């Protein structure tokens, strides 16, 4: 069974072919991907490799972690599963919404109870809690 391997601190010139070549000495490479910027298509300096056998992955991680690749010392370990995000809140506390317009100072906070219900509490213009 294969596991994804994270490779960090890659040179911006490292290619997916170079990653595949580097990891192929440890086993069969299922996939090699370098993460790129959506707008510029330039490498973000990290990528993922998937080997066909987990034992091969262990060997690759132990032998390549800290090794210099294309002039940079890379970080190699198992990739963590992508965490589920609650959405973009742009720096506000989770569950807080700001309303703009006539009531600029009116902020509402959603309180969730243990049974999943939610209620809105807010402050009016005079700071009084509803």
Q: What is the CATH number of the domain that holds 60?
A: 3.30.70.330
30 lies in some domain:
yes
Give the closest residue to 14 by CA, choosing from 64, 53, 54.
Answer: 64
Answer yes or no: is pLDDT of 25 > 80.
yes
73 lies in some domain:
yes
CB atoms within 10 A of CB 110: 13
CB atoms within 10 A of CB 113: 8
Task: For residue 30, give every residue at least 6 positions away whose Cβ sits within 8 Å of its Cβ, in sequence order, or none.
Answer: 2, 50, 51, 52
104 lies in some domain:
no
Show the DSSP H helices in 1-126 as ranges.
Answer: 16-24, 54-64
DSSP tag of 129: B
74 lies in some domain:
yes
Query: Which neighbouring-strand residues pair with 33?
Result: 48
69 lies in some domain:
yes
Choose between 1 and 54: higher pLDDT.
54
Task: State the residue range of the domain holding 27.
Answer: 4-78
Chain-centre distance for alpha carbon 25? 28
18 lies in some domain:
yes
Residue 30: per-residue pLDDT: 95
In angstroms, how far is the first alpha carbon of the chain from the final one?
Answer: 56
User: For the whole prediction, is pTM greater than 0.75?
Assistant: no
What tens digit of pLDDT does each residue of 53-80 get?
999 999 999 999 999 999 999 999 999 8
What domain count does the chain have? 1
Beta sheet of 118-122, edge-to-edge order: 96-98, 107-112, 118-122
84 lies in some domain:
no
119 lies in some domain:
no
Residue 82: per-residue pLDDT: 77
Residue 48: per-residue pLDDT: 97
């Amino acid at each position: 069974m294969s596991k994804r391997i994270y490779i960090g601190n890659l040179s911006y010139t490292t290619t997916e072919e170079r990653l595949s070549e580097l990891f192929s000495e440890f086993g069969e490479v299922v996939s090699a991907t370098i993460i790129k910027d959506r707008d510029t298509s330039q490498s973000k300096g990290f990528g993922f490799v998937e080997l066909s056998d987990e034992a091969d992955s262990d060997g690759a991680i132990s032998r390549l972690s800290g090794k210099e690749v294309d002039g940079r010392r890379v970080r190699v370990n198992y990739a963590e599963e992508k965490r589920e995000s609650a959405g973009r809140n742009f720096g506000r506390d989770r569950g807080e919404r700001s309303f703009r317009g006539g009531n600029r100072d009116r902020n509402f906070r959603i309180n969730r109870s243990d049974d999943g219900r939610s209620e809105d509490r807010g402050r009016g213009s005079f700071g009084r809690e509803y």
